[in-house]
Amino acid sequence: MSVTPVKVLKAAFCQVAVVDDLRVNVENAISAIRNAVKTKSGVKLVVLPETFNCPYGTEHFRKFSEPVPSGYTCQKLSKVCKELDIFLIAGSIIEIDEQGKLYNTVTIWNPKGELIGKHRKIHLFDISVTRNGGCIFKESSVLTPGDKPTIVTIEGRKFGIGICHDIRFDELAKLYALEGCQAIIYPSGFDVCQGEMYWKLLQQARAIDNSCFVGMICAARDSSASYVDYGHSMLVNPWGDVLVEAGEGEETVFVDFDFSIIDDYKRELPILSQRRTDLYGVNYKKF
Residue 121 falls in the annotated catalytic set: yes
CB 246 within 8 A of CB 217: no
CB 13 within 8 A of CB 244: yes
Q: Catalytic residue among 14, 44, 50, 155, which?
A: 50
Pairing state of beta strands 102-109 and 157-161?
unpaired
Residue 50 falls in the annotated catalytic set: yes
Provide the H-helix boundaries in the chain: 22-39, 58-64, 72-84, 170-178, 192-210, 260-268, 277-280
Q: Catalytic residue among 14, 54, 81, 164, which?
A: 164
Q: Catalytic residue among 95, 121, 181, 193, which?
A: 121
Residue 98 falls in the annotated catalytic set: no
Residue 93: HSE in the Cβ half-sphere, 13 Å Cα cutoff: 29
Helix axis angle, 22-39 relative to 72-84, nearest 10°?
A: 10
Identity of the residue numbered 265: Y
Residue 222: HSE in the Cβ half-sphere, 13 Å Cα cutoff: 14
Task: State the catalytic residues.
Answer: 50, 121, 164
